[in-house]
Amino acid sequence: MKKSLIVTMALTLSLSLAACGNNNTNNGAKNGNAAATNNATTNNTASADLSGSILAAGSTALQPLVDQVSKEFMDKNSGVSIQVQGGGSGTGLTQVSEGQAQIGNSDVFAEEKLDADKAAELVDHQVAVVAMAAVTNKDVGVDSLTKQQLVDIFTGKVTNWKDVGGKDEKIQIVNRPSSSGTRATFEKFALGTKTEDLQGSIQEDASGTVKKLVSETPGAIGYLALSYLDDSIAAVKYEGVEANVDNVANGTYPVWAYEHMYTKGEPDAATKAFLDYMVSEDVQGDQGDVVEMGYIPVSKMEVKRDAQGAVTK
């Protein structure tokens, strides 16, 4: 009994040691491989020769799209392995800036989260557009809100729906945390001002939770990406403009943001091929993943916007 125990222990130990050894040699081999294929790809850019592993981390809003596209890309390029992680825009930008991830997914421009010199090292790849709409519980009876009305609601000046044309009911704000990229976009382009977390307001980060709370709480108002809109909640027009793909694309609906995939400097061959695939017609076209999953293709946009928020046709 005792002997067998010790034998097991010794075995485990030696196995774990062996595993360590193995790992090392594997890593060595992998590095060697990567170096070799890097050389190969510079000479010959045929997709069959691509290999390497890519880590894409960051924005949870962009994660489902990157995840699905990465699977298709791996089917076509068996030598490449892509891992997609969430963690939030800040995490994605930090990791790509520090070199832990090859791609950093973000809802916001890097300049808004990182120091200027760190942000300058990153190369922006805009892969999709996400638009947001203010949504309310179905019982409030408000169809359209102006910018000023939204500001009054989110700063607590208006606390009852009857003051903005709805029925007599207390307004319940379902907001995002102050660090959220979604909230930053909404405040910047819908409200035009930063707001404080009010006493009694609800802050949730996950879009699913926000949707559930808005649909169940009487008098609730929140905001969601267009892909989350359905019959359980009421989408509100902004200044009389309905939130839909066409209005976003032609610039009449202003509450939208790019989804960014940042790389540090110019990407290596495999990462570059993946990012090229991301903006290819297969993904961005009418039948592609971008449209299917409720994002708006970048190619469809008739207006452009820079990091300072200035819009150009």
Partner 1 sequence: MKKSNDREVATPHLAEEWVGKVYTFICILFLIITIFSMVYFVASKGLSTFIVNGVNVKDLLTGLKWKPDGEPALFGALPFIFGSFSTSILAAIIAAPLGFCAAVFMIELSPKLGRTFMQPVIELLAGIPSVVYGFVGLSVIVPLFRNLFPGQGVGIAAGALVLAFMILPTITTIATDALASLPAGLKEGSYALGATRWQTIYRIVLPTTLPAQMTGIVLGIARAFGEALAVQMVIGNAPHIPHSLFESTSTLTSAITLSMGNTAMGSVQNNALWSLALILMLMTFVFVFIIRWLEGRKKL
Query: Residue numbers of the site for partner 1 (CB under 8 A)?
Result: 3, 6, 9-10, 12-13, 60, 86-91, 93-94, 97-98, 113-114, 172, 177-181, 194, 196-205, 209, 212-213, 216-217
User: Token pair 């922006």 is at which residue?
Assistant: 124
Pick 167 or 194: Cβ nearer partner 1: 194
Q: How far is the CB of 262 from partner 1 (least distance, A)?
A: 12
Query: Measured between alpha carbons, how far is 293 from 63 in angstroms, rounded to an integer?
Result: 11
Q: How far is the CB of 158 from partner 1 (least distance, A)?
A: 18
Burial of 149 (0-12, 13-18, 19+ CB in 10 A): buried
Q: How far is the CB of 233 from partner 1 (least distance, A)?
A: 16
The amino acid at residue 105 is: N
Q: How far is the CB of 208 from partner 1 (least distance, A)?
A: 10
Query: Measured between alpha carbons, how far is 227 from 65 in angstroms, rounded to an integer?
Result: 12
279 pairs with which residues across the strands? none
Pick 31 or 193: Cβ nearer partner 1: 193
Q: How far is the CB of 2 from partner 1 (least distance, A)?
A: 8
Pick 3 or 313: Cβ nearer partner 1: 3
Pick 11 or 48: Cβ nearer partner 1: 11
Q: Are strands 237-238 and 122-136 parallel, antiparallel or unpaired?
A: unpaired
Q: How far is the CB of 21 from partner 1 (least distance, A)?
A: 16
Please, which residues have CB within 8 angstroms of residue 123's CB and are 6 or more apart in sequence? 262, 263, 264, 265, 266, 267
Q: How far is the CB of 275 from partner 1 (least distance, A)?
A: 22
